[in-house]
Amino acid sequence: MFLMVHLVPGDPAQVLFGDAPVPKAQVEEVRHALGLDQPLAVQLARYLRRVLTGDLGRSLKTDRPVATDLARAIPSTTELAVAAMALAAAGGVFFGIVSASSHNTWLDSGVSTVALLGISFPTFWTGLLLIWLFSVKLDWFPITGQYSLRNLVLPAITLGWYAGAILARLVRSGMLEVLRQEYIRTAWAKGVTRRRILAWHALRNALIPVITVASVQFGTLLGGAVVVETVFARDGVGRMLVLAILQKDFPEVQGAVLVLALAYTFSNLLADLCYGSIDPRVRYG
């Protein structure tokens, strides 16, 4: 990421002065103060040394520590990602079970169609459609803002629809495979109730791949927040990243990407830790 941001056209030192004409000597003085006149290898070594001590640098535009700006933005992005993941997990598992238990019926076809639309629609297009319908036409929810539950509904649905659609399709295919197993037929023969077979025997054995994909989708939601926060004007890490890219604010770009990458890695670690509680073969292997 450090090397990529240096390939972006534009001089950060010149960006600090805006459109005002500035003598070249003054620009070079700022470049020297920021260390931008050093070779990239030297700049990278200095940056890594600061990161290892918790120093993400200072914003070129606001002159505030990047860590301070991130601390202000992370709660909003976390709130949005968790809400979207909750909707995706609950909706994906529920509709996946409904689709599998109603295989080859109109209900199965309807759920599959909605899931296909969720996967096919770009996130920004989904957000604009929801704004047009529920904010402009029906006036049910506000278009922008982030200080109430009503402000969270549309962004969470926008961000969670894609992940929920993938989970629903995965749960459906996993449940259909499990329901064909012999131990399921044995449970039916013993008179076990339909609800217990679906919830305890079938779903539990179909959850391992779902947990894997859900952890990856949570990281994807954090990346998708970049677009959704821009569409709904939410002050989160995503919108902070977009503005930093437009303003050539290298330290904020690097800090925001680093936080998103760490969150993505941490979500995958949590998935690995959850395997043992779902599948005893993982716990005792």
Domain span holding position 137: 66-284
Choose from 16-20, 24-28, 199-203 the range with maximum mean pLDDT: 24-28
pLDDT level of residue 58 (50, 70, 90 thresholds): confident
**pTM (two decimals):** 0.78
Do 180 and 228 fall into the same domain? yes
Do 245 and 189 fall into the same domain? yes
pLDDT level of residue 280 (50, 70, 90 thresholds): low
Contact 201, 187 (CB under 8 A): yes
- 221 is a domain residue: yes
pLDDT level of residue 20 (50, 70, 90 thresholds): low
- 114 is a domain residue: yes
Question: How high is the mean pLDDT of the chain?
Answer: 81
Q: Is the pLDDT of residue 18 over 80?
A: no
Residue-wise pLDDT tens digits, 109-139: 888 888 888 888 888 888 888 889 888 888 8
CA–chain centroid gap for 19, Å, is: 35
Q: Is the pLDDT of residue 285 over 60?
A: no
Do 230 and 261 fall into the same domain? yes
Do 82 and 12 fall into the same domain? no
Return the HEC string of the chain: CHHHHCCCCCCHHHHCCCCCCCCHHHHHHHHHHHCCCCCHHHHHHHHHHHHHCCCCCECCCCCCEHHHHHHHHHHHHHHHHHHHHHHHHHHHHHHHHHHHHCCCCHHHHHHHHHHHHHHHCCHHHHHHHHHHHHHHHCCCCCCCCCCCHHHHHHHHHHHHHHHHHHHHHHHHHHHHHHHCCHHHHHHHHCCCCHHHHHHHHHHHHHHHHHHHHHHHHHHHHHHHHHHHHHHCCCCCHHHHHHHHHHCCCHHHHHHHHHHHHHHHHHHHHHHHHHHHHHCHHHHHC
- 57 is a domain residue: no
Structural domains counted in the chain:
2
pLDDT value for 19: 64
- 164 is a domain residue: yes
Do 262 and 207 fall into the same domain? yes
Q: Is the pLDDT of residue 215 over 60?
A: yes
Q: Is the pLDDT of residue 147 over 60?
A: yes
pLDDT value for 170: 86
Residue-wise pLDDT tens digits, 225-258: 788 888 888 888 888 888 888 878 888 888 888 8
pLDDT value for 230: 83
pLDDT value for 282: 64
- 59 is a domain residue: no
Do 37 and 177 fall into the same domain? no
Distance CA(113)–CA(110), nearest Å, equals 5
pLDDT value for 23: 77
**Count of residues making up the chain:** 285
- 61 is a domain residue: no
- 89 is a domain residue: yes
Q: Is the pLDDT of residue 283 over 70?
A: no
CATH number at residue 133: 1.10.3720.10
The stretch 16-27 carries a mean pLDDT of: 72
Do 48 and 120 fall into the same domain? no
Do 41 and 145 fall into the same domain? no
Please give the structure tokens belonging to residue 174: 């996993």
148 or 76: whose pLDDT is higher? Answer: 76
